[in-house]
Amino acid sequence: MHCPNCGIQTPETANYCTRCGEPLREGLTKPDPTEAIAPEPSVSQIENQLRYMLPMGTPPVPLFAGYLGLFSPTLIAAPFALIFGTIGLLQLRRRPEAFGHGRCWTGIIMGLIFTVLGIALLINAL
């Protein structure tokens, strides 16, 4: 079978020309080319979206700092949150591609507040 549009030899079983996409049978419409190239979200786009929800691409120290920050109101975790948050930020400075700045700052800010509060409570108790 030859394509009526471009004239190339096409397989007998083909519904459309393999080169130009012309329908080779009665009743077939030309496929919409815009549909074929409809933009799909790329893998990196999906990964970036996941990183906001999941700790993907976050090194362990900022991750740990973030959780310690959340547990800072227990006062025991607060100094550790402060330490891990600071270490995490220093590590991230050398790894600009890594995520976790927010988690580090959570650790530092929460750690600072509840370390000061803990020391104040300790002084009052003495």
Regarding 3 and contact with Zn ion (CB under 5 A), the answer is yes
List % helix, strand, coil for the chain (3-state, nearest 5): 55, 5, 40
Beta-carbon contacts of 44 under 8 Å, excluding residues fewer than 6 positions away, are: none
Which amino acid makes up residue 44?
S
Number of chain positions touching Zn ion (CB under 5 A): 7
Regarding 120 and contact with Zn ion (CB under 5 A), the answer is no
Regarding 91 and contact with Zn ion (CB under 5 A), the answer is no
Q: How far apart (Å, rounded) are the C-alpha atoms in residues 74 and 79?
A: 11
- The nearest distance, CB 34 to Zn ion, in angstroms, is 19
Q: How far apart (Å, rounded) are the C-alpha atoms in residues 82 and 106?
A: 9
Subset of 13-42 contacting Zn ion (CB under 5 A): 17, 19-20, 22
Nearer to Zn ion, 2 or 93 (CB): 2
Nearer to Zn ion, 23 or 79 (CB): 23
- The nearest distance, CB 23 to Zn ion, in angstroms, is 10
Regarding 5 and contact with Zn ion (CB under 5 A), the answer is yes
State how far Cα 32 lies from the chain centre.
33
- Give the footprint of Zn ion on this chain (CB under 5 A): 3, 5-6, 17, 19-20, 22
